[in-house]
Amino acid sequence: MGKHFTIRKGYDIKLRGIAEKTIADLPVSDVVAVKPPDFDTVTPKMLVEPGDEVLAGQAIFFDKNRPDLKFASPVSGEIADIVRGEKRRIMEVRILPDKKGTRYVAFPKTDLSALSREDAIERLLESGCWGYIRQRPYSLIADPKDLPKAIFVSCFDSAPLAPDLDFIKDFEIDNLHTGIQVLQILANGKVSFGLRPGQSEGDFPGTPVASHHFFQGPHPAGNVGIQIHHVSPLQKGETVWYVHLQDLLIIGRLFREGRYRADRIVALAGSCVDKPQYYRVMTGQHIGDITGGRLLSEHCRLIQGNVLTGKTTSAGDFLSFYENQITVIPEGDQPEFLGWLLPGLQKLSLSRTYFSWLFPKRSYELDTNMHGEERAFVMTGQYDKVLPMNIYPVFLLKAILARDIERMEALGIYEVSEEDFALCEFVCTSKIDVQQIISEGLKYIREEG
């Protein structure tokens, strides 16, 4: 049995519209896209031009600063367009998929017992799958030249309306097994799984040297950063890698099936969705093909990801590289009569401002209204109640704003990521953009520290 951790700080935001455990397969869109802005710090250099034919798994661009880091097409077909933004920054590589089925680059199926670490890294780089392996600190794509002290996999997601990863993994147990073996090769056996109570270590077969740790408590217990903090806190100069469970399935397919198969199961959830459920789609799928005809209202907010850390999207956008969830909630742009003067039985309240706190199991239909605007940054103690890390969040944020590198390091900047502070932003009375501050701090210390 693994070690158990009880997370007492945090909060579970109960929203209406959780996805039912049914799956529908959606056909590949007429156009799919790979979006270089999904990869922070990557400067893309194109390997293809409009009109070129590509196979699924064929590299279409690489990172200018790390030429061995390649990014592949999720489908076979024709390069339709390379969309550029300001200063000719590449925003999208659009591909017209084959109508008669996907053709793949053939990678050799390998006996993992004889696979070296160097060969595994080379295969992941060549296929475009290395992008699924990320690192702390900085939450960037991992450097293949590093040897991490461990690789972490969070086996559950505690965010609002998050997909059930247990439900998803059961469809591809063999690929999961293969992916785990690859991680063991990359980390010399030092793989750590974060599970919730009720999950079985036996659900992750073939891991005799892996560590299993159980986390009980509210969100953000499922965040990999919280699990790393409790199991193996990061010190300056140390590196850990992490992989999302569904990305691990794609890595498993590469070595077991000999191809880069980039389809994934996405939860379409939220109170504005007619019948929330799961859909099997292609990475880069057109968002409109996922949400079309499935929404209760057109006046709603489409979010790639969850309501705390996701990014606003539209029906004309494409599914991002790492996303496993699309959330749709009402727009909060309507005036409210009497506002906070009403009893607020249907309003979520963490501070007991409304009587809704008397009903802790109630689910809510929240909208995007901020209920105020940014004001003075005051000490309230709110952040400490929802951040289960042994750091001082307000002092860290102020050190970032002051650009005090020494202070930032002393307060734990290397351990955190934006998603770990999402609840701090949610409960903030001052409406401070906490995640943006953390992002700027990580960027600053990466460039100057």
Task: Confirm whether 366 is domain-assigned.
Answer: no
Which residue has 């077991």 as its token pair? 256
Verify that 309 and 333 share a domain, yes or no: yes
Last residue of a domain, one of 207, 233, 262: 262
Verify that 190 and 67 share a domain, yes or no: yes
CATH code for position 318: 3.10.20
Verify that 277 and 399 share a domain, yes or no: no
Encoded tokens for 141: 């794509």
Verify that 56 and 202 share a domain, yes or no: yes
Region of poorest pLDDT, from 85-99, 113-127, 195-209, 387-401: 195-209
Last residue of a domain, one of 242, 262, 282: 262
Residue 150 lies in domain: 1-11+30-262
**CB neighbours of residue 377 within 10 Å:** 17
Q: pLDDT tens digits, residue range 281-323?
A: 999 999 999 999 999 998 999 999 999 999 999 999 999 999 9
Model confidence band, residue 206 (pLDDT cutoffs 50, 70, 90) = low
Res 266: pLDDT: 98
Res 370: pLDDT: 86
Q: pLDDT tens digits, residue range 108-149?
A: 988 898 999 999 999 999 999 999 999 999 999 999 999 999
Section 337-366 average pLDDT: 78
Verify that 178 and 239 share a domain, yes or no: yes
Model confidence band, residue 257 (pLDDT cutoffs 50, 70, 90) = very high
| Rounded-to-integer distance, Cα 441 and Cα 346, Å | 37
Task: Confirm whether 281 is domain-assigned.
Answer: yes
**CB neighbours of residue 172 within 10 Å:** 19
- What's the mean per-residue pLDDT of the chain? 93
pLDDT > 80? residue 151: yes
Verify that 344 and 417 share a domain, yes or no: no
Verify that 141 and 205 share a domain, yes or no: yes
Q: Is the pTM of this model over 0.85?
A: yes
Res 29: pLDDT: 97
Task: Confirm whether 217 is domain-assigned.
Answer: yes
Verify that 157 and 171 share a domain, yes or no: yes
Section 174-185 average pLDDT: 94
Task: Confirm whether 68 is domain-assigned.
Answer: yes
Verify that 242 and 307 share a domain, yes or no: no
Res 279: pLDDT: 98
Q: pLDDT tens digits, residue range 409-447?
A: 999 999 999 999 999 999 998 999 999 999 999 999 999
Strand partners, 192: 152, 211
Verify that 52 and 158 share a domain, yes or no: yes
Task: Confirm whether 362 is domain-assigned.
Answer: no
Section 31-51 average pLDDT: 97
Task: Confirm whether 51 is domain-assigned.
Answer: yes
Last residue of a domain, one of 211, 236, 262: 262
3-state helix/strand/coil string of the chain: CCEEEECCCCCCCCECCCCEEEEEECCCCCCEEECHHHCCCCCEEECCCCCCEECECCEEEEECCCCCCEEECCCCEEEEEEEECHHHCEEEEEEEECCCCCCECCCCCCCHHHCCHHHHHHHHHHHCHHHHCEEECCCEECCCCCCCCCEEEECCCCCCCCCCHHHHHHHHHHHHHHHHHHHHHHCCCCEEEEECCCCCHHHCCCCCCCEEEEEECCCCCCCHHHHHHHHCCCCCCCCEEECCHHHHHHHHHHHHHCCCCCEEEEEEECCCECCCEEEEEECCCEHHHHHCCCECCCCEEEEECCCCCCEEECCCCECCCCCCEEEEEECCCCCCCCHHHCCCCCCCCCCCCCHHHHCCCCCECCCCCCCCCCCCCCCCCHHHHHCCCCCCHHHHHHHHHCCCHHHHHHCCHHHCCHHHHHHHHHHCCCCCCHHHHHHHHHHHHHHHC
Verify that 244 and 278 share a domain, yes or no: no
Tell me phi and psi for residue 368, to 5 degrees: -90, 5
Domain count, the chain: 3
Region of poorest pLDDT, from 109-113, 258-262, 327-331: 109-113
Region of poorest pLDDT, from 17-31, 34-48, 107-121, 357-371: 357-371
- What is the layout of strands, in order, in the sheet containing 20-25? 20-25, 277-282, 263-269, 325-330, 300-304, 311-313
Task: Confirm whether 363 is domain-assigned.
Answer: no
Task: Confirm whether 430 is domain-assigned.
Answer: yes
pLDDT > 80? residue 343: no
Verify that 238 and 213 share a domain, yes or no: yes
